[in-house]
Structure 1
Amino acid sequence: MAGFASLSVPVAAAQMPLAVHLPAIYAQHFGLSLGVIGAIFLAERLWGAIADPLIGVLSDRTSSRFGRRRPWIVGGAIIFGLASLALFFPSASLVSPLYLGAAMFAIYLGSAMIQIPYLAWSGQISGEYHERTRIVTFQTVAAAAALLLVLILPTIIDQLNPRDGQLKLAAMGAVVIGSLIITVPLALRAFTEAPAATPVNHERAPLGRTITILFSDPLLRRVLLSDFAVTIGQSTRAGLIVFFVTAYMGLPQWASGLYLFQFVFGVVAGPIWAQIGYRIGKHRAAIAGELTQVAINLALLLVVPGQIALLLALTVAQGLAQGSGNLMLRSMVADVADAHRLRTGADRTALFFSAFSLSSKAGMAVAVGIALPLVGWFGFNPQAVTNTPEALHGLLWVFALGPAIAHLISAALIHGFPLHEAQHSEIRRRLEERDAALTPAE
């Protein structure tokens, strides 16, 4: 399980620097405007809206002697690795909006080719309700450990030379590429792929109609919208934290350290929330985690510039609440795919996980595409030595209230979710009976 979960490391190790450090570094050190960066992020996420479901459908339909998921993961790893070289080791003479856009295009394509088949595979390792939470917990802990690892080096650099953005990028890039080389073989050898379920209807639906299923399944819609909202909250905080700590708090030496501190506690958050999910169910645990994050983000309005104590306490709390909604919602996707297969006879697990990936990427794009221009509209300038009080207060309000509102919406969307443990157990029993009846006798 640990070997399989290790593939979460390089993907997670790239995602957080892209959301947290890359916008600030490319703005401050390479001179790209916040508006241009926000537009590039939005465009690349919209590209993901096309690529993700295509990869999901094609992965479900892939048939090879290596399995349905492995060929996609290997191809994605190659693209992801090359794009990481371009993004994390840029030459100042080459950086331009076109350069950044092309590199982001490639890294999101490679990431999707790894992540969507990988998540679908993880949802098919076990069909048991709580065992799926355990599998996702391993992946969540691996991802949190990756984030911790990738933030250690920038934190050290901040203490020595907080303005050396290219050195920070190179340090994080080394972690991403090094972990990719190590973890891909470990994950591919961890488990055998279960054979594809025998379809009840052997006719293959057209690609376009298959993708529209993403928006017609009511259970999947609720999970996707809830994940979309929680990702907006997380990404708004991630995209602005460097600016908030540096400009509003006046503590540039803490810019990476606070995020590092958060993920120290984030490593243990996964098992804690898994235990909560075992006791009260997945959707109730997701609601509890989201409401906790609402309170934490509202409390940010009470922090005082230059004083670290309250911000440090809230960072610890954020770490302990970290990923609660993501963990439960990701575990719920495989359950929803089971319900869909029972109703329609078609196994669309990868397609459903592509939708989950799509909601996450869309949430990140919306957060960056709105939050950065919004703080700019308030007058905040990341390259200015000082900003006006009005600009700094605008930064505070967006940083605190944006995530709080998004997490509240996420909790409301998943409230009363009907697919609980007993219902899922019945779905699995009926699926196993039908699969046994459809399997030809030896």
Structure 2
Amino acid sequence: MPERSAPAGEISLARLAAYGQMVVPLAVVGLPLAIYIPPFYGGTLGLDLALIGTLLMLARFSDVVTDPLIGRLSDLTRTRWGRRRPWILAGLPVMVISAYMLFLPPEGAGALYLLGAIVALYFGFTLIVIPYGAWGAELVGGYEERNKVTGSREIFLVAGILLALLVPVLATEAVETSGTGQAVTREAMASLGWLTVILVPLCGFVLLAFVGEPPARLDVPGAAKTAGPAEMLRQIRPLLKNGPFRIVLLSSVCGALAGSVNASVAILFYDHVAGIGEEGLVLILVLFTAALAGTPLWVRLGARLGKHKAIALAGLINMGAFAIIPFIIYGLKPLDAEYVLPAMFAVTIVRGATMSASGVLGMSILADVADLDTLKTGEQRTGFLFSFLGMVRKIFEAAGVGIALPIVSWFGFNPGLEENSQAALFSLLAMYCLLPLLLWLASIAIIWRYPISPARQERLRRALRLKEARRALHSAAS
């Protein structure tokens, strides 16, 4: 399909849906990486938990090379089908094959098998997610319109997460394996594998066929068209001089580390500390249902309060709810264990209602930062911005897993035991709750300093249009 210009005003609901639905299979794959893989490969397949954490961390480091490379190459690509489509098309079969390997491992699958499957899956993610995110940032230019694009993506993301939560439960119940004592069974993981095999090509077709790409802005003949090491370093320097981008980067680092530490031990916390077993999966379902319901609210608040202030507000509310968890475990649980589930249910609803704010508004903020970068460098590098931020986030997400799982293992925690020591259980609480609270507080304090308001963003857009017009006149004259 040939490239089409982005609309100047409203973006249609059909186009929003066609773009946003691509994240459904990405969420179906991404959720297990965060919460299912450690208990499945550790508890069900019997791999050492600390080893799993190390492998997940090592696999993430492959993105240090591939993320910025794919981002830069997608910025430079020029085809009749657009810049982003060819890379997404290449990523679809990689995602399908690697997801099948990861979710349907053969008997006796060990550490090398897990490492290979995850590295391949991460590469498939990079081929799809980096061009896809840049594509969304370029669809529209308005401050509020970008919230709608990221809001659509977040709604479909949460829908995909809910699907990834429900399908394994239904698959497990269908074969009556609930009495195995395993939070994550082979049947549950197999259901996710087959769901991914079906959804990835289907959603990819809808995206590639029905969403047009805008042309590259400020595309100057003679500009650097390479992606070698020296050129990649040259591309990074303007980013690090970009004040708003530095704020987004540092805030994202803290948030990514907090989320990774928390998610990597979530199911283990529900099983061994909260003592609610399989009800923990219900809480995760409640969390993302509340997130789905809260998404439209944060789209509106981002426009009314400013994107960064809305993110900070959501973070403070989330922290207030999350800080109650230690009191539930050490206050309510000794009185009556029956109190734990309803108390965690209430906390989870509040947390869920706020959690979509960063996903919706954070990516919308990055699109605004890309405008500033384009104005300063004279080159549209949206793919590189998204890939560089994504690379750094992935490093700290990997570090979160590599920190949390070895720490709880060092304290003697063993997911295969029915009873663990109090020190081991406290280490789970610390990784699930206490350390993330400190990191989220730092993330909120940093993003509060973000300087691009709606008025400044509109000035950036006007300056970009003026620069494009001057460049067009210069090209016509020459």
1:255 aligns with 2:294: no
Segment of structure 1 superposing worse, 26-35 or 206-215: 206-215
* 1:281 counterpart residue number: 306
1:120 aligns with 2:140: no
Selected match of 2:100 from 81, 85, 88: 85
CA distance in 2, matches of 1:393, 1:363: 23
* Residue identity in the other structure for 2:415: P
| TM-score normalised by structure 1 residue count | 0.96
Selected match of 1:372 from 390, 394, 405: 405
CA distance in 1, matches of 2:172, 2:278: 6
* 1:183 counterpart residue number: 203
TM-fit CA distance, 1:201:
7.8
CA distance in 1, matches of 2:448, 2:268: 34
1:97 aligns with 2:111: yes
CA distance in 1, matches of 2:262, 2:431: 9
Trace 1:181-330 onto structure 2 (pairs within 5 A). 181-199=201-219, 202-204=222-224, 206-304=231-329, 305=333, 306=337, 307-330=340-363
1:303–1:157 CA distance, 2 compared to 1 (3 A): farther
* 1:161 counterpart residue number: 177
Counterpart contact for 1:293–1:404, Cα < 8 Å = no
* 1:43 counterpart residue number: 58
Segment of structure 1 superposing worse, 305-314 or 110-119: 305-314
Counterpart contact for 2:270–2:280, Cα < 8 Å = yes
1:156–1:303 CA distance, 2 compared to 1 (3 A): farther
Segment of structure 1 superposing worse, 343-352 or 189-198: 189-198
TM-fit CA distance, 1:4:
1.1
* 1:358 counterpart residue number: 391
1:239–1:255 CA distance, 2 compared to 1 (3 A): same
1:147 aligns with 2:145: no
* 1:426 counterpart residue number: 459
What whole-Å deviation, never above 9, does each CA across 1:77-133 have from its counterpart, x for those lacking one?
A: 11111100100111123x111111111111001101101101101001111111001
CA distance in 2, matches of 1:200, 1:431: 14
CA distance in 1, matches of 2:107, 2:400: 27
Counterpart contact for 2:263–2:432, Cα < 8 Å = no
Runs of 4+ in 1 over 6 A off after TM superposition: none
1:367–1:42 CA distance, 2 compared to 1 (3 A): same
CA distance in 1, matches of 2:318, 2:388: 24
| TM-score normalised by structure 2 residue count | 0.89
What whole-Å deviation, never above 9, does each CA across 1:355-394 have from its counterpart, x for those lacking one?
A: 2322332232121111111111222111112111221122
> Where does the alignment leave 5 or more consecutive residues of structure 2 unmatched?
1-15
Q: CA RMSD in A?
A: 1.7
* Residue identity in the other structure for 1:90: P
CA distance in 1, matches of 2:465, 2:196: 40
TM-fit CA distance, 1:200:
5.6
* Residue identity in the other structure for 2:121: I
TM-fit CA distance, 1:2:
0.4
What SS does the aligned partner of 1:252 have? Answer: coil
Trace 1:53-92 onto structure 2 (pairs within 5 A). 53-92=68-107
* Residue identity in the other structure for 2:445: A
CA distance in 2, matches of 1:235, 1:84: 20
> Where does the alignment leave 5 or more consecutive residues of structure 1 unmatched?
none
Counterpart contact for 1:3–1:186, Cα < 8 Å = yes
* 1:402 counterpart residue number: 435
* 1:20 counterpart residue number: 35
* Residue identity in the other structure for 1:293: N
What SS does the aligned partner of 2:413 have? Answer: coil
1:11 aligns with 2:26: yes
Count of residues in correspondence between the two structures: 441
The percentage of aligned residue pairs carrying the same residue is: 31
CA distance in 2, matches of 1:252, 1:157: 18
Counterpart contact for 1:155–1:257, Cα < 8 Å = no
* 1:415 counterpart residue number: 448
What SS does the aligned partner of 1:63 have? Answer: coil
Of structures 1 and 2, the larger Rg is shown by 2
